[in-house]
Amino acid sequence: MEVLNYPETTFEKLPVVIFEHAAQGAIRIAQEIAGIIRHKQQKGKKAVLGLATGSSPIGVYQELIRLHQQEGLSFANVVTFNLDEYYPMQPDELQSYVYFMHEQLFDHVDILPENIHIPDGTLAIEQVKEYCQAYEQQIKDCGGLDLQLLGIGRTGHIGFNEPGSASTSVTRLVKLDPLTITDAAKDFIKEEFVPLRALTMGVGTIMKARRIILMAWGESKARILQQTVEGRISDEVPASFLQNHPNVSVVVDQWAALELTRIKTPWLVGMCSWDDNLIRRAVIWLSLKMQKPILKLTDEDYKDGSLSDLLVEAGNAYNLNIKVFNAIQHTITGWPGGKPNSNDAQRPERAVPASKRSLVFSPHPDDDVISMGGTLLRLVDQGHEVHVAYQTSGNLAVFDDDARRFADFALDFAEKQQLGVAQMRQEHAAVVEFLKHKKLGEEDSLLVQDIKALIRKGEAMAACRFCGVQEQHIHFMNMPFYETGQVKKKPLGEADIEETIAILQQIRPHQIFAAGDLRDPHGTHRICLDAIFAALARLKGQEEWVEDCYLWLYRGAWQEWDVQEIEMAVPISPEELLRKRKAIFKHQSQKDSAVFPGNDKREFWQRSEDRNHATAKLYDKLGLAEYEAIEAFVRYRF
């Protein structure tokens, strides 16, 4: 297990432990919990645990289950109090925290049912106050919480103590913050279905725990984590109240730590050992901070920006400026497949072979055009053999209403053409019947899943045709890990890897483009990427083409690479941007409003264009050429 150790810093007001991977952090937390349970057991006492739900604790619970099943850890002496529950909420609903806790932990360990406490979302409103007081009393009667496990919301909430919560607040009914509601929408299918209120332990309740562990994984938590750890104590970020607790640890992965000063701008914290990468980061940071193009930065600017030691090492600003400017300049290419008959020593891609086999992996059926549509168009226009492999069916992200519309179409068509009408009527009736009775968040019938997958397949085909990708070069993988019919996916399996190997062997690409959401510990994109990594690792040393293959990573729909990371920047002209937009429009089921819009109200094409404009603007600000838009890639050396 690797813990990334950094020097103590004056910026951080809470003890933070950074792990390279979320899974390592989760194991460390589970070990501590197991230690408390065993210690109490030896003394013949109960261990009283405050538990959280959401995506953050899942890894911890998995490790606790493993410890129970493989190492004999018993939960017979464990009493639990969960932080919160939506209100109103029935315990058997898929979104309830009762359902979550049983599925993720309680059903797999030997905890006694009478020792489980989860706030009751079924109460009548007039019972709530008394119930909350009793919840507090129950915790006290058990001797208080030995440990409270916490995740953190993007509003800075702990439990459901949203901004504005008092440090002394107790268990109560609260209103959820609009941002929390948006984040919860993924579990409730639509934002309108998310309850507006919740029952939650108070900040004061949490602060009484003898030990607190706050965990955060993934880049989406980086900003709020920085405010919690480095900001002043304020009810605007309720998690910052933890700074007043004497025994708290913050456990994070490297991505959630990204905004901490020691990680983001280590030169502000202490002496650095400078390498090319760090120099590039520092100079770009300085240029943006001083609002000056790189080539105009002076010795004085370096000194004012706490970069004197870098200046000493490099001699003067001029040398540093030129070095970094040239490095960024060399990332720009209008030839993402390499420029034929040219010196490629300073270019991101090789000149030879002039015509390449390019394989674009797209986790969902629209990530290719959303994230790299301009580059895809260029590759086709420049005569490369472009293949697109859609890794999952994406059937989950289609509205029921669209499935019904296509089922109607299929029946109408069959009736009009007199084709297998009787059977089509049966299938159509089955779809109508299923959708009529479908519960919120319920898994679709296989028939409905099929229709939804076909809708997305048709859209991807249309987008590829529009971009000029040949039909025989379009591949639909339907990776099995995705096909659960639910938001929750299976872990990456052997069949997924084998399918990825098969497609790689078939195409033997010179270059691969893949969604590189390395910073997201969960989610479909990460699993799809892991499948590619696993497949390439197995093929390496076995097949010659692998040695010669470049793997380029694009970011998913949500974010762009940080400018200092970019290794290939493909400029997109205004006309190309318009063509890219039209390709994205082919994905009609995702248009106007998507089933999973995430936490961004803009449509996919708008996010994509905004992001491409922003990258171009950044290059411009740094003093490079001014383009309409830029798509960005990082090369992964496997």
Among 159, 337, 516, 521, which residue interacts with ligand F6R (rule: CB under 6 A)?
A: 159
Interacting residues with ligand F6R between 40 and 69 (CB under 6 A): 52-56
Catalytic residue of the set 136, 162, 230, 560: 162
Q: How far is the CB of 53 from ligand F6R (least distance, A)?
A: 4
**Residue 82 bridge partners (DSSP):** 51
Residue 209 binding ligand F6R, by CB under 6 A: no
Among residues 159 and 374, whose Cβ is nearest to ligand F6R?
A: 159
* Residue 253 sits in the site that holds ligand F6R (CB under 6 A): no
Are the C-beta atoms of 222 and 259 separated by less than 8 Å? yes
Q: Give yes or no for residue 310 binding ligand F6R (CB under 6 A).
A: no
Q: Minimal distance in Å, beta carbon 235 to ligand F6R?
A: 16
**Nearer Cβ to ligand F6R (83/139):** 83
- Of 56 and 265, the one with the shorter C-beta distance to ligand F6R is 56
Question: What would the two tokens of residue 78 be?
Answer: 């464990």
For residues 495-524, which are near ligand F6R according to CB under 6 A?
A: none
360: nearest Cα among 331, 337, 332, 382: 337
**Identified binder of ligand F6R from the candidate list 64, 83, 111, 229, rule CB under 6 A:** 83
Distances (CA, A) of 148 to 53, 85, 204, 245, 258: 12, 16, 12, 12, 25
In this structure, what DSSP letter does residue 125 have?
Answer: G
Structure tokens at 59: 């890894």
Between helix 494-507 and helix 524-539 the angle, nearest 10°, is 60
Residue 151 binds ligand F6R, judged by CB under 6 A: yes
175 Cβ contact list (under 8 Å, min separation 6): 162, 196, 197
Which string of x and - marks every residue 549-568 that binds ligand F6R (by CB under 6 A)?
--------------------
Minimum separation from the CB atom of position 207 to ligand F6R (A): 15
Does residue 84 touch ligand F6R according to CB under 6 A? Answer: yes
Please tell me whether residue 238 binds ligand F6R under the rule CB under 6 A. no
Contact 564, 294 (CB under 8 A): no
- Residue 156 Cβ, how far from ligand F6R at the closest point, in Å? 10
Give min distance, CB of 30 to ligand F6R, in A.
16
| 158 contributes a contact to ligand F6R by CB under 6 A | yes
Interface stretch with ligand F6R, choices 104-112, 155-163, 384-392, 537-545 (CB under 6 A): 155-163
CA dist 376 and 363 (Å) reads 15
162 is catalytic: yes
β-pairing verdict for 78-82 and 47-51: parallel
| SS3 state of residue 450 | helix
The whole-angstrom separation of Cα 605 and Cα 11 is 39
Give the shortest CB-239-to-ligand F6R separation in angstroms: 9
Q: Which amino acid is at 542?
A: Q
Query: Which of 28, 68, 157, 473 touches ligand F6R by CB under 6 A?
Result: 157
- Nearest approach, Cβ of residue 591 and ligand F6R (Å): 28
- As to burial, measured by CB atoms within 10 angstroms (0-12 exposed, 13-18 middle, 19+ buried), residue 221 is buried
Q: CB-wise, 100 or 325, nearer to ligand F6R?
A: 100
Q: What is the spatial distance between Cα 84 and Cα 161, in angstroms, rounded to a whole number?
A: 10
Q: Which is nearer to ligand F6R, 84 or 230 (CB)?
A: 84
Q: What is the dihedral of CA 175, 179, 180, 185, to 10 degrees?
A: 120
**b or e along 317-342 (b: 16 or more beta carbons within 10 Å of the residue's beta carbon)?**
beebbeebbebbbebbbebbbbbeee
Examine residue 115 and tell whether it contacts ligand F6R (CB under 6 A): no
153 interacts with ligand F6R by CB under 6 A = yes
The residue count for binding ligand F6R (CB under 6 A) is: 14
- Helices 604-621 and 367-381 sit at what angle, rounded to 10 degrees? 60
Nearer to ligand F6R, 154 or 292 (CB): 154
C-beta neighbour count of 120 within 10 angstroms = 18
CB of 29 to ligand F6R, least distance (A): 13
Q: Applying CB under 6 A, which residues contact ligand F6R?
A: 52-56, 83-84, 151-153, 157-160
Q: Which residues are catalytic?
A: 162
